[in-house]
Amino acid sequence: MRIDLSGKTALVTGSTQGIGLAIAKGLAEAGARVLINGRQAARVDAAVAEVEGDAVGVAADVTTDDGVAALLDRAPDVDILVNNLGIFGATPAREITDEQWRTYFDVNVLAAVRLIRRYLPGMEARGWGRIIQIASDSAIVTPEEMVHYGVTKTALLAVTRGFAKDTAGSGVTVNSVIAGPTHTAGVEEFVYQLVDRSLPWDEAQREFMKKYRPQSLLGRLIEPEEIANMVTYLSSPLASATTGGAVRADGGYVDSILP
């Protein structure tokens, strides 16, 4: 099976590190021209330097109208849109403020919706496109320690299904990837919010998985490249019959026989 994205342009939001950067690298390795996005120009430039292939940096805050306008000025059309941008953090459910709820929806949901609206018409006009949301196991198994995050990821699944119906028969596919607990710098910090900071990383990771993610069949955190592999496949012509789906790359964390 050979994935060839030559001639395609891909935008990955929040791609200066972690899963987003791994996705950008995967798409570039498959031949796509990749737009690296983040808020800080220095971090965008550093990420571009890590990508082997055709990569261009676009520093813009896609949670704001001005940021989206700046992005569209640099990239008026894309063939592949990966809505990876997201924030998370542990807060007791009863202490989550209205402002926090709004912020999480703005970043994790509305930023994706906004970009889908902007880029979808061009994809339909060309008769081909791929739109992928990076969701989470938290969309299905709502975490007690970050209910607001889980709710926004659940919303992304509905956004995906709705837009897949809207684009039916157009040649554009819309999917979500349900990423399981993944090893990134941000997740390392999150792990240490919940377990003893004095523990070495390997021990801290085992303690976290045992106590907070015992459903995982891998028994370890997933590496970002493993998520990127799924996204690269869904971005390709080989995945033409997959749309409206919530495709799992979760290490078996979600206890379900359905994808």
- Write out the two tokens for 115: 């970009």
Question: Cα separation of 36 and 24, whole Å?
Answer: 7
Q: Is the CB of residue 24 less than 8 Å from the CB of residue 50?
A: no
Question: Cα separation of 205 and 211, whole Å?
Answer: 10
Q: Is the CB of residue 176 less than 8 Å from the CB of residue 246?
A: yes
Catalytic residue (choose from 149, 212, 233, 253):
149
235, HSE (Cβ side, Cα atoms, 13 Å): 36
**Alpha carbon of residue 171 to chain centroid:** 22
Tell me which DSSP letter residue 184 carries. Answer: -
φ/ψ of residue 177, rounded to 5: -110, 120
Neighbours of 10 (CB within 10 A): 29
The full length of the chain comes to 259
- Cβ within 8 Å of residue 189, ≥6 positions away: none
DSSP 75-91: -S--SEEEE--------
Question: Cα separation of 24 and 110, whole Å?
Answer: 22
Coil, strand or helix at 135: strand
Is 149 known to be catalytic? yes
Q: Which residue numbers are catalytic?
A: 149
